[in-house]
Structure 1
Amino acid sequence: MTGVLTPGAGASASAPGGVSRTELPGGLRVVTETVPGVRSVSLGIWIGIGSRDESPTQAGAAHYLEHLLFKGTQRRTAVAIAEEFDAVGGDLNAFTAKEHTCYYAQVLDTDLPLAVDVLADVVTDATLAPPDVEVERGVVLEEIAMRDDDPEDLLGELFDEALFAGHPLGLPVIGSEESIRSMTRHTLHEFWRGRYTTPRMVVAAAGNLVHHEVVELVGAALSGAAARAGDVGPVPPRRPAPAALASGPRLVLRPDDTEQAHLLLGVPGLSRHDPRRSVLTVLNTALGGGPSSRLFQQVREQRGLAYSVYSALSTYADAGSFSVYAGCAPERLDEVVTVVRAVLAEVAVDGLTPAEVTRAQGNLRGGLVLGLEDTPSRMNRIGRSELDHGRQRTITESLDRIAAVTPEQVAELAHELLAAPLTAAVVGPYDDEADLPGSLRSLA
């Protein structure tokens, strides 16, 4: 692609923090960040489609495609794709989430044209050959079996299924054994061609690069896909109405012959568009984000009840979750649950101390800056920002938002969220809910 880019069809602009943005024909967006002092580039093609966009007959399609698109294109076999990246020492991969999918690569700066060409080829011109559909069906089924053998992975899906009951966010990204076995090539092809379109795509790159050169490479590599999309603009960030989640306490158990009991206990959180996101990240960090956190100190350091205990957040366009994980000996589960519930209840009533808030803010600021020391992290940041928000937030802006959080704001949010009915998921050596301790059965 060459020539002058006209406003509306390919206008370029500098976003905050040294990020450049160009909108190309077909609604395709290109965002880049130059990182001085490196010799690599990380590149990702982000598609604003994930597991929540699947119908029941398509359950697991986005993740299935993550495997299948690498099996060959009109110009390359799967072996050729692998050989081209091995020949330059590059990394090529993909991941699927509930609201987006990303196909990405990391290469030397001199090999950026190859990375753009191969990624564009894979995402928009794959063959989805019937024999490959069957081969990858077996691979995905093996992945589901692996998930079922990993208590923490299985636990997370059980928790989401309970918390987001009846909502697409509660469905597993990987699909189910039943949906994958019944998935047809036609279903996969229809989902791919209908959803993986340039208005839903963001191409993000970070490293030793020149923005207009990346734009030209991307424009040329995705010209066919852009032409299929026609004269349209980008799909705006998701902003659905707040998800209507079922109310009331819930408890789900998956009996498993494990040495430990694995527990997730939590409540609905905030959407990513909620202005109190920074307040929630401070609350989460102080509660279970590190060795000095209240949960770590109460559960592990003072009582020795569990080796691993932490809290976590998930945020989506219309909902979110806050959860606490602990893995412990089965006979200690009752005490672990009692302590965790007591900590949450105490914070819901009294909030955090100023010292806890200050310590959490320092932890978050350090983690944010140190987490951007490599090009993949920067590519992820700008790609997600464009897809999820349609804008870029500078590092300084993010740091300032964290620094502006007050103990009073944390206390107010803690009272709102942590006083809600709890949802719990358990994986462990229990035959049924009657075998669980009373501290959990009270949630049923």
Structure 2
Amino acid sequence: MHEKNDPPASARNPERGNGAGAGVVLPGPGSPGVGGARAGGPGDADAVRRSDLPGGARLVTETVPWVRSVALGIWIGIGSVDETGDQAGAAHYLEHLLFKGTGRRTAAGIAEEMDAVGGELNAFTAKEHTCYYAHVLDDDVALAIDVLADVVTEAELAHTDVELERGVVLEEISMRDDDPEDLLGELFDETLFGEHALGRPVIGSEDSIRGMSRDTLHEFWRGEYTTPRMVVAAAGNLDHDRVADLVSQALVGASERSRGLTAEPPRTGGGPRPVRSSALALHPDESEQAHLMLGVPGPSRHTPGRAALAVLNTALGGGLSSRLFQQVREQRGLAYQVYSSQVRYADAGSLAVYAGCAPERLGEVVAVVRDVLAGVASDGLTEAEVLRAQGALRGGLVLGLEDTASRMNRLGRSELDHGRQRSLSESLARIEAVTPSEVADLAAELLTQPLTAAVVGPYDEIDDLPAALRDLA
């Protein structure tokens, strides 16, 4: 159960978050070589090293000598936005299939090897990337690298497994349809981003999964999951040079298949901007609550002012002292859960508010949320609100780095998204430097845009929704 105001972690959009821990990316040093150039990173600058490996894969590690574990992931710069119509959901489908067996390991064998060392093996798919990861004791890092590389690059994709997992993915889509919050997030993206690839669900649709052939999946996997698109990130009690040797050896076959391909730079944006499909979308659902997402387009991750956006988002709905939580829940008792979230992609982004409430209270919730957004748009935030948000962001950033999995995620995302690592001290300084006037200017720019709303709840048609929503249509 999600306590208090904690936003849920959606498996189908792991990028949607409340902004805590948002960092600032800094340029790394010049051209790192195979030996492993040092780069300023989340913790001690000397602890983060980067290497370009044979075959085009990149390795970024952070040594954390006071722990006894290693978290490592193979990140591929491919997600649902890279799929064509007949491939919709392929990256997520592969997330299931690649664990079903390789030329050297059965599915049971993979599970048994990891269970025997108390390790964790898993994966997630997002709109712009995919990650296969493991968390093991430091003594077992060689096993984890071998298993991960084997799964990601040498899977068999047997026809029987394709059919077996087709049913599993279809069940997952049904589960999504039974979860109003997951369904709401996808409905909001579809409404805000329209026909743009960002508007498509990561999981695909029932029709696309039913129609997807083994050949389509295999072609997507072999054509897109190449070593120049891979970043191997690792954090924990490790030796960079040893990890580099192990990863290079484990990826020999994939490197040979990728020969002649050039390194893939980070997504730079500049593509077509999404155009929203409508201002208001409804999915009728016989649920006990009405679920609302109300928001506006936001800047891409390449737009300046990322720290100011994080402060704005946190002050709006990122904690128990946030304006939305205080106004909607504490002062009026209209909803148990209310929060804001931001998402930043290469070409676009969003800033949105979620609330779940009794259906008869939806109109009042919408009115209060719109009043809060309008107030921040016209008057900005108080100095006290900015200071609290800055403190929350600093604390979330530093405390998050006590976990090796968080450090590994930060390394992988930074390398894929920006091609360089983020400095903790610089990130903290950028957060500290945000001023109330900077946040006010950003709020005036973003929150005066036309609102987009999505609702999942017990309403048959848009005319049944409260007037505070219908006037958006």
TM-score range (shorter-chain normalised) is over 0.9
Amino acid at match of 1:314: V
**In 2 relative to 1, CA 168–417 (structure 1 residues): closer, same or farther, beyond 3 Å?**
same
Tell me which residue corresponds to 1:10.
34
> Any conservation in 2 of the 1:300–1:307 contact (CA below 8 Å)?
yes
Distance in 2 between residues matched to 1:341 and 1:8, nearest whole Å: 49
Alignment of 1:38-57 (within 5 A): 38-57=67-86
3-state SS, counterpart of residue 253 of structure 1: strand
Shift of 1:142: 0.4
> Any conservation in 2 of the 1:25–1:231 contact (CA below 8 Å)?
no
- Runs of 4+ off more than 3 Å: none
- Per-residue CA deviations over 1:322-376 (Å, capped at 9, x if unaligned) read 0000000000000000000010011101100111001100000001101111110
3-state SS, counterpart of residue 27 of structure 1: coil
Distance in 2 between residues matched to 1:239 and 1:27, nearest whole Å: 19
Pair 1:329-2:358 in alignment: yes
Distance in 1 between residues matched to 2:125 and 2:55, nearest whole Å: 23
* Range that drifts further, 221-230 or 231-240: 231-240
Distance in 2 between residues matched to 1:104 and 1:247, nearest whole Å: 34
- Per-residue CA deviations over 1:230-265 (Å, capped at 9, x if unaligned) read 144420000121542326961000000011000000
Pair 1:90-2:119 in alignment: yes
Matched residue count? 438
Tell me which residue corresponds to 1:105.
134
Tell me which residue corresponds to 1:168.
197
Distance in 2 between residues matched to 1:248 and 1:223, nearest whole Å: 45
2:420 to 374, 391, 396: 391
Shift of 1:273: 1.1
Stretches of structure 1 lacking an aligned partner (at least 5 in a row): 1-6
1:280 to 309, 316, 337: 309
**In 2 relative to 1, CA 132–386 (structure 1 residues): closer, same or farther, beyond 3 Å?**
same
> Any conservation in 2 of the 1:47–1:200 contact (CA below 8 Å)?
yes
- Per-residue CA deviations over 1:393-438 (Å, capped at 9, x if unaligned) read 1111111111110001000000000000000000000000010001
- Per-residue CA deviations over 1:294-316 (Å, capped at 9, x if unaligned) read 00000000000000000001110
> Any conservation in 2 of the 1:94–1:104 contact (CA below 8 Å)?
yes
Pair 1:441-2:441 in alignment: no
> Any conservation in 2 of the 1:9–1:25 contact (CA below 8 Å)?
no
Tell me which residue corresponds to 2:60.
31
Tell me which residue corresponds to 1:81.
110
Alignment of 1:298-317 (within 5 A): 298-317=327-346
Shift of 1:11: 4.4
**In 2 relative to 1, CA 182–249 (structure 1 residues): closer, same or farther, beyond 3 Å?**
closer
Stretches of structure 2 lacking an aligned partner (at least 5 in a row): 1-30
Distance in 2 between residues matched to 1:182 and 1:89, nearest whole Å: 38
Matched-pair identity in %: 72
Distance in 1 between residues matched to 2:140 and 2:172, nearest whole Å: 32
Alignment of 1:343-422 (within 5 A): 343-422=372-451
Q: What is the TM-score of this pair, normalised by structure 2? A: 0.91
- Per-residue CA deviations over 1:262-302 (Å, capped at 9, x if unaligned) read 00000001111112111000000000000100000000000
> Any conservation in 2 of the 1:242–1:319 contact (CA below 8 Å)?
no
> Any conservation in 1 of the 2:335–2:355 contact (CA below 8 Å)?
yes
Alignment of 1:125-164 (within 5 A): 125-164=154-193
3-state SS, counterpart of residue 401 of structure 1: helix
Distance in 1 between residues matched to 2:154 and 2:255, nearest whole Å: 12
Distance in 2 between residues matched to 1:119 and 1:442, nearest whole Å: 51
User: Aligned-pair RMSD on alpha carbons?
Assistant: 1.2
> Any conservation in 2 of the 1:25–1:232 contact (CA below 8 Å)?
no
